[in-house]
Amino acid sequence: MAEIVGGGRPVNDSERRVIAYLRDHGPADWLLLHNVEVPRGEDVFEVDLLVLTGHSLVVVDVKGTRGRVEVSGTRWFPPRREAFGSPVAKLRGTAKALKGLLVSRDTRLERVYVDSLVVLTSPDAELVDPAGRDAVNVTDLPGLLATLSDVSRVRRGCSPRVGPYMTSILDALNQSVRRSTAPPRFGNWEVEEQLGGDAKVTEYRAFNVTLPGSETVLLRVYQADPLADEEARVAERQRIANAYQSLARIPPHPCVVRSRDFFAIDDESRFVLVLDDVHGEALHLRLGTGVRLGVIQDLLRGLAHAHANGVIHRALTPACVLVTDDGHAVLTGFDHAKPGPRNYTVAHELGNVLDAHYVAPECQERPDRMTAASDVYAAGVIAYQLLTGELPVGPDVHRPGVPDVVRAMLDHSPAKRPTAAESLAALSGGEMPQKSKLRRFVRRIVSGS
C-alpha cells in the first residue's frame, strides 16, 4: 500500500477512485499527496495528485471524460461535450512550475525528474491522438501503476533514483504547496470538474451552490495581470471581455450558445465567463460522417442571427459548432468576435487562433478585414466539408452534389457571396437571390475588396 501523506478534499468520484487505487495497490515506498495548490507568483495551479515514486515526482490530473476523445492541435474533442484545451499542455506547465519551486528551495533537486500524467478513469475512455503529442502523458486506470513505475520516462540528465533526495523533496513540498480545503469556487459556482485550458484560460464544469443538483454550466476562467500598468490592464480586460460583450448583443437563440454572467474575482487577477453547458460534441468529430443538412441549416441560423445583431464571428471552424444528440447545432467560440463598431480591436489576436482552411481569401493576409461575408465563406467551407468529407480545393468546388448556394458561399469575391440568411433560405428550398449591381457595389465597398 502506498502512503497518503496529506491533502485536501477530493472534488469528485474520479479523483477518489484514483487516490484509493494507488493507496491500495501502489508500492509501499510511494508517497501520495492529493488536492493541493502550487503557487507561482500571482498564479495558483490546482493539482489533483502528487505521486513520489522511486524515480520521479509525478503531477497527476484526473479526468472522468467518457468515450472516444480525439486530439486535434491543442484541444480535446470528447463525445457529447464541448471541446476543451488539452489538459496535457496545462499539466506540463504545472510540472515545470513545481520543478522551479523545488529547485528554488534546494538546487540539488535539479536532478529530480518531475513528470506529468493525465489519468482517464472511465472504462470506455479512449484517446485518439494522431500526432502522438499528448498520448505519451495519458493513461487509464488499469495502466496507471505500470506507467508510474516506468523508469524509462525519466529524462536524460535526471537521476533514476529519488531516494537520496527524498528528505529534500518533502521539505521543499512542505514549504511550497498548500492544501486545497475545498473545491474551487468562483462566485456562486462550485467546480465539479476541471476540463482543460492553457496559460491564459482554464475551463471548468460547475454547479450553483445555492441549488445543488441543478443543471451545470461551463466556466471559462481567464488569467489577468493585476500588476500591469493601467493601459495594459485596460487592453487585457477588453480582450477577455470580448466573448461576453459579443454574446450580450445577441438575443437568446437556440442555435447560439447563451452567456449567463461575466465577473472579476480577487483583484482582477481572474475573470469568469459563465456559459450554458451544451450537451453536444464538436462538429469537428462529425466531419465525413454524413451529417444531416439540418446541421448546416442550424449553423446558418445561428450565424444569420449573430449578423442580424451586428456580431461577426471571425474565427468560425467546425470546433466552434456543437451538435447535440438529436442533431441540433449550436454556434460557440466568440472569444475573437466583433460585436459591432467600437474604439478598440482584438483583431491582432486572430493570427494566433485562425485555421487558414476557413479564412476567406481576402482575409488571408489581413485578419482585421473580417466581415460577415468572410463568416459566410467559413460556413461554406464547413458545409462543403460536411457534404463531401473533403476541404474545397480549386475546381473541386464544382463537384456534383454540392448545392449551388454552397458554391456561392465559397466565391472568392466577398461581394458575390450570399448572406447567411440568404444561404439558409436557399438551402431550405428557396432560390438563390439575384443581387443587383448596386447591391454588389455596396457589398464590395463594405468588404473592402
The whole-number pLDDT of residue 433 equals 53
Domain ranges in the chain are: 3-179, 185-276, 282-447
| Cα–Cα distances in angstroms (integers) from residue 41 to residues 19, 35, 229, in the given order | 28, 19, 17
Where are the alpha helices (H) located in 29-107, listed in sequence order? 87-105
| Cα–Cα distances in angstroms (integers) from residue 199 to residues 85, 204, 209, 243, in the given order | 10, 14, 27, 18
- CATH architecture group of domain 282-447: Orthogonal Bundle (1.10)
> Do 353 and 371 contact (CB within 8 A), yes or no?
no
447, containing H or E segment: helix 437-447
**CATH class of the domain whose range is 3-179:** alpha beta
Question: Cell 460556413 identifies what position?
Answer: 379
The whole-number pLDDT of residue 270 equals 86
Question: Phi and psi for 80 in degrees, rounded to 5?
Answer: 65, 20
SS3 content of the chain, % helix, strand, coil (to 5): 35, 25, 35
Q: Look at residues 407, 404, 414, 403 and name the one whose alpha carbon lies nearest to residue 447.
A: 414
Residue 262 CA to residue 245 CA, distance in Å, equals 9
Rounded mean pLDDT for each run of 10 residues along the chain, 449 residues in total = 83 86 93 86 81 96 91 87 86 91 93 96 94 95 96 95 92 82 81 81 90 87 82 87 93 95 84 91 71 87 97 92 89 91 73 84 87 96 89 73 90 94 88 49 40
The whole-number pLDDT of residue 21 equals 93
Query: What's the whole-model pTM score?
Result: 0.69
Residue 179 CA to residue 191 CA, distance in Å, equals 17
Residue 436 CA to residue 394 CA, distance in Å, equals 27
The whole-number pLDDT of residue 447 equals 39
Residue 85 CA to residue 350 CA, distance in Å, equals 17
The whole-number pLDDT of residue 181 equals 62
Interhelix angle for 420-427 vs 293-308, to 10°? 150
For 388, the 3-state DSSP assignment is helix
- CATH architecture group of domain 185-276: 2-Layer Sandwich (3.30)
